[in-house]
Structure 1
Amino acid sequence: METKPNEKRQTLRFSLWSDGRTTLGQPVTMETYKELIDEIVRADQLGFHGLWVSEHHGFQDGYLPAPFLFLAHVAALTEHLRLGTNILLLPLWPIRLLAEETAVLDLLDAGRTTLGLGLGYIPHEFAAFGVHLKHRKKRMEAGVTYLRAAFRGEPIPDGQNGASLVVAPLPAQGARLPIYLGANSEPAIERVARLADGFLAAAFPAVNFEQELKERWSILKSYLPKYDRDPSNFPVVLSMHLWACDDPERDWNTFLARAIAYQLDVYAQLSVSPGQPQPPKIDPGTLDRSRFLVDTPDNLVKRLQAIQSEIPISEMCFWSHPPGVPHDAVVGNLERIARQVMIAFR
């Protein structure tokens, strides 16, 4: 897509988002990771900005439980992609271990790490790690403070009997290592403005996700100046599905609607406390394609430009391999986005 004379072109970075799954409910295998790594390496060659991975535990289909190990392997096989977590469940982690894992990854990938954090919400995960759900906000606040001090190289008073103890090694980026936070509610968005270097804005399949994002951005924009942050220069990462093809209805009906319904079902089922009734499964036929970024390349460019006119998103983070979508179709989507969508935002 060409830019007209005197028309201002807004930049937008495009990054992959992976949860370590490729199938509809089947266990993760060596082939699963082989396919994912092949797609990620191809994305590095195609000029994508980064790879974000998310973390969950106790999913029967093998949702990625070890984000740092996965990213360390990717670091050895790529040259350009920034590597981040979107999101890592900070309240479940021993905070010293989290600081050390982050620093080691940042050294291995030569300063390409962004640490994206969230509170978590699934009851069985907190039970498995011995953390009470009611403590998650307190652990987040204290955890980010700890990480900042650790990355600055300050001794932390968590040694024996409260003695100061160094956190080593230091990350390659040192204190500049970015920490982003995810948020939906106003108190959580205020925390983003106060503590974070960027906002991980996950779009949910609402009737009008653009309006939801606009409302969250309005809240964030109102808080940023209170903490001496510049709203015009604060990274906002839009995280959702993105699929470019010449026949959107064909791909939607062939595999995408089913893949998205499966993802939504798994999240809904696992957020229910033990003993509570499970929600009914989603019929893929009831999903509305217009609620997702599934369209022709030209239409995707127009829609993303419209979103940018309302919300200053700086990065588009998309599920690169929705469950059940064939590997060759995933690679084709990456190539179309790189050659027909990304070019409009450089």
Structure 2
Amino acid sequence: MQVGIYMDLRNPPKWQRPWKGFYETALEQVVEAERLGIAAAWFSEHHFWEDGYLPQPLTFAAAAAARTKRIQLGAGVVLAPLRPAADIAEQGAVIDLISDGRFELGLGAGYVVPEFKTYGVSPKGRFEALEERAIEIRRLWEEGVATPAPLQEHMPIWIGGTGLRAARIAGRLGEGLLWPGPASLPEYRKALAGAGHDPDSARMGGLVQMVINDDPEAAWPRISPHLTYQWGSYAYYGGLDTVAPGMALLPDLDPESLRSGESVLLAPKFDVVTPDEAIRRLTEWMGDLPIEHILVWSSIAGMPDDLVARHIELLSTKVTPALREVGLPSPAPLAGAEA
């Protein structure tokens, strides 16, 4: 199992950094994560958000691939209905070649109506479109239609989604499920078996909603405004019918309502935890699941740099080694990484 970071590259107006150099700094963060021994970096996608939420994860993954040597790279998720299968297949193959076979492709259905409208696609049937894209991308690779071919003989494809529908799609196609929800596993395995795949071939991964800090109670008031903005923005853009210039009205959201002491921290549940508490919760949560990727946010909507740096440092030096010791292995750090 790989422990990695998940990046959306938000730059909210309230805490905005100069856009000049913003992506360069983010790429340096990926390089530093690799140096520390973080196993993977995955990149998300949305369009036309006021904070510049990363609109082109494949482009950014290619840039990260050129800067790194070992860290696994993933797109999680590409909004598949918005793009032709051939475009995704070709870009994925190029990234895989640049990265020397370190790329994994996550595909999702999307949900924000203005994104579909601007791309000239109907949101109706988006799950059917997701399945069609996944089938076609795999065919283009396996039949050698997309050239050049990926370096990996069977590049990993992941189906992202929070509900059982995504689990059924992943199962029918024999692909990974990019959602670590325990409730999805029975349906996923059932769909694998029903489509003639080995149910024991199930592989899951996805985003864990936590930030790691030595003193969670001191860090919480510094993180909670960013969490409020993050989840408010999801609610705001998810409720729009057309593109709007910025967030006209931030939904009233109490960050305390999101904070949870449960082991399973799936959105919107969230917590700030010590390394020991992170290890305890992750071990309890992931122990019986076929998990390949645990991903945590690199940053919550522009939160302070010192919190980001310490979060990633503790993830690499405390949490990852401990998970390896209890039987949840992760690749060793690069030479020169801090112990």
Q: TM-score, normalised by structure 1?
A: 0.83
Question: Which sits farther off after the overlay, 72-81 or 216-225?
Answer: 216-225
Q: SS state of the match for residue 184, structure 1?
A: coil
Which consecutive residues of structure 2, in runs of 5 or more, have no partner in the other structure? 243-247, 262-268, 325-339
Match for residue 7 of structure 2?
Answer: 18
Separation in 1, partners of 2:323, 2:298: 19
1:311-335 deviations in whole A, cap 9, x for unaligned? 3333211110111312232122111
Match for residue 32 of structure 1?
Answer: 22
Q: SS state of the match for residue 125, structure 2?
A: helix
5 Å matches for 1:173-252?
173-174=152-153, 176-201=154-179, 213-252=181-220
Using the TM superposition, give the Cα deviation of residue 266 of structure 1 relative to its aligned residue in structure 2, in angstroms: 0.7
Question: Which sits farther off after the overlay, 122-131 or 333-342?
Answer: 333-342
Q: TM-score, normalised by structure 2?
A: 0.85
Separation in 2, partners of 1:231, 1:337: 31
Separation in 2, partners of 1:181, 1:226: 17
1:167-218 deviations in whole A, cap 9, x for unaligned? 22111114x011100123323211111114211116xxxxxxxxxx221223
Using the TM superposition, give the Cα deviation of residue 231 of structure 1 relative to its aligned residue in structure 2, in angstroms: 4.2
Aligned alpha-carbon RMSD (Å): 2.3
Q: SS state of the match for residue 219, structure 1?
A: helix
Query: Is 1:127 matched with 2:117?
Result: yes
5 Å matches for 1:290-329?
290=261, 291-329=269-307
1:101-140 deviations in whole A, cap 9, x for unaligned? 1111111111111010000010000000000111323322
Match for residue 147 of structure 2?
Answer: 168
Separation in 1, partners of 2:73, 2:8: 14
Q: Which has the larger radius of gyration?
A: 1
Q: SS state of the match for residue 87, structure 1?
A: strand
Change (3 A) 1:324 1:27: closer
Separation in 2, partners of 1:198, 1:167: 22
Change (3 A) 1:140 1:13: same
Q: SS state of the match for residue 314, structure 1?
A: strand
Separation in 1, partners of 2:258, 2:127: 33
Question: Which sits farther off after the overlay, 335-344 or 134-143?
Answer: 134-143
1:48-67 deviations in whole A, cap 9, x for unaligned? 11111011111111011111
5 Å matches for 1:138-153?
138-153=128-143
* Contact 1:27/1:62, CA 8 A, preserved across alignment: no
* Contact 1:153/1:170, CA 8 A, preserved across alignment: no
* Aligned equivalent of 1:258, options 202, 225, 237: 225
* Contact 1:24/1:323, CA 8 A, preserved across alignment: no
Separation in 1, partners of 2:4, 2:199: 22
Question: Which sits farther off after the overlay, 222-231 or 129-138?
Answer: 222-231
* Contact 1:39/1:330, CA 8 A, preserved across alignment: no
Match for residue 44 of structure 1?
Answer: 34
Which consecutive residues of structure 1, in runs of 5 or more, have no partner in the other structure? 1-11, 155-165, 203-212
Match for residue 93 of structure 1?
Answer: 83
1:283-340 deviations in whole A, cap 9, x for unaligned? 3344324342421111111111110234333321111011131223212211111111
Separation in 1, partners of 2:18, 2:284: 38
Between the two proteins, what is the percent identity of the paired residues?
32
Separation in 2, partners of 1:196, 1:259: 37
Separation in 2, partners of 1:258, 1:145: 41
* Contact 1:201/1:239, CA 8 A, preserved across alignment: yes
Separation in 2, partners of 1:147, 1:304: 33
5 Å matches for 1:51-70?
51-70=41-60
Quick one: which amino acid aligns to residue 39 of structure 2?
Answer: H
Q: Which runs of 4+ in 1 moved over 6 A?
A: none
